[in-house]
Structure 1
Amino acid sequence: MKIETFHDLIDWTRQLHAHLAECLKHCATRQEETRAKWLLEYLADHEATLEQAVAGFEKQADPKALHTWVYDYLSHAPIAPHEACRSPYAAMSFEDICREIFALHDQVLELYRYLEGRAEIPEARDLVRELLKLEEHEAMRLSQQTNRARDL
């Protein structure tokens, strides 16, 4: 997907979470390790919820921000959603799954931080800042939940 506007960025993020939710759910059905299977199911639900939260931004964001161009200062290609499912989650251990998922979320956070510093109008900067807060909060929540699961 070519990202030209902040609306495209939000749509790309929503699609990324949707694709990841689908992939994790599918892999959970093939995972044999109980704890890893639980993790995949939890992550699939989490990603589906995150997809809905991101979709909310498309409906409520300032139209001025949504139609602001991004591509002029997007110096690197964003994470392609199809790459999110290249890892064989069904055959991975609990720890490997955590590492892969956190690395993917870190890439999204890095992209948002980059864009926040480059947004030229306040409305776009606020939009990216809100998306960044959502992603950071959800990454923190995910980290807490996986740490609890490690303790079990």
Structure 2
Amino acid sequence: MSYSTVKDILDYSRTLHEHARNLYEQLRDQTQRERVDMMLHLLAEHENTLATSLQSYQQDVSKKVLDEWHQFEPGSIAEALSGCKAFHPDISVDELVSIALKIDDYLIGLYKQVLAETTSSESRSLFSNLVQLEESEKMRTVRAAMSANDW
């Protein structure tokens, strides 16, 4: 296992959200199904919100925290988005939500891992807030998926 700074972890997470957003937007151009298009729009907004939030966190956190080292070896973005290989123009809303939740769960797990290892109170606060952010956005996605049946 290698080590990365908090800045590296935030950059990796932001990039992951940006790639997911781009994938959802590309798929919107290919689908002809209105419910799927609406869910793709919501998921792209979900990923954009998270990417923007990560950028804000990074600007607000002290340099001392950003320079902290943690045991984390970032995998490739392609590996983290491996479920996205299932994307096709006829994908169902349920399949889309499943992929989106896997991305959220991956990052929640990452943040919890770093949170468990960190000793500084500022880092603990940062990663605790990131876990809460991801979990609240995940719940919004689940609620949107449940309401998709009403569209």
TM-score bracket, shorter-length normalisation: 0.7 to 0.9
Contact 1:36–1:93, Cα closer than 8 Å, also in 2: yes
1:33 aligns with 2:33: yes
Query: Structure 1 residues 102, 79: CA separation in 2 closer, same or farther (over 3 Å shift)?
Result: farther
The verdict on how the C-alpha distance between 1:46 and 1:37 changes in structure 2, with shifts beyond 3 A counting, is same
Q: Distance in 2 between matches of 1:42 and 1:59?
A: 26
Return the alpha-carbon distance in structure 2 between the equivalents of residues 91 and 78 of structure 1.
31
Q: 1:70 to 1:145 in 2, by over 3 A?
A: same
Partner of 1:111: 110
Give 1:89 deviation, angstroms.
4.5
Alignment check: 8 A CA contact 2:97 2:141 kept: no
Alignment length (residue pairs) = 147
Q: After TM superposition, which residue ranges in structure 1, 4 or more long, deviate above 6 angstroms?
A: none
> What pairs with 1:65-144 in structure 2 (closer than 5 Å)?
65-71=65-71, 74=72, 77-78=73-74, 80-83=76-79, 84=81, 85-144=84-143
Report the counterpart of residue 17 of structure 2 in structure 1.
Answer: 17
3-state SS of 1:91 partner: coil
**How far, CA to CA, are the matches of 1:100 and 1:131 in structure 2?**
20
TM-score, normalised on structure 2?
0.87
Cα displacement (A) at 1:3: 6.1
Provide the identity percentage: 25
For residues 45 and 150 of structure 2, what CA distance do their matches in structure 1 show? 21
Gaps of 5+ in 2: none
Residue 76 of structure 2 aligns with an amino acid whose one-letter code is: A
Deviation, structure 1 residue 38: 1.2
Tell me the C-alpha RMSD between the 2 structures.
1.8
Indicate if the aligned counterparts of 2:94 and 2:145 stay in contact, CA closer than 8 A: no
Shift of 1:79: 5.2
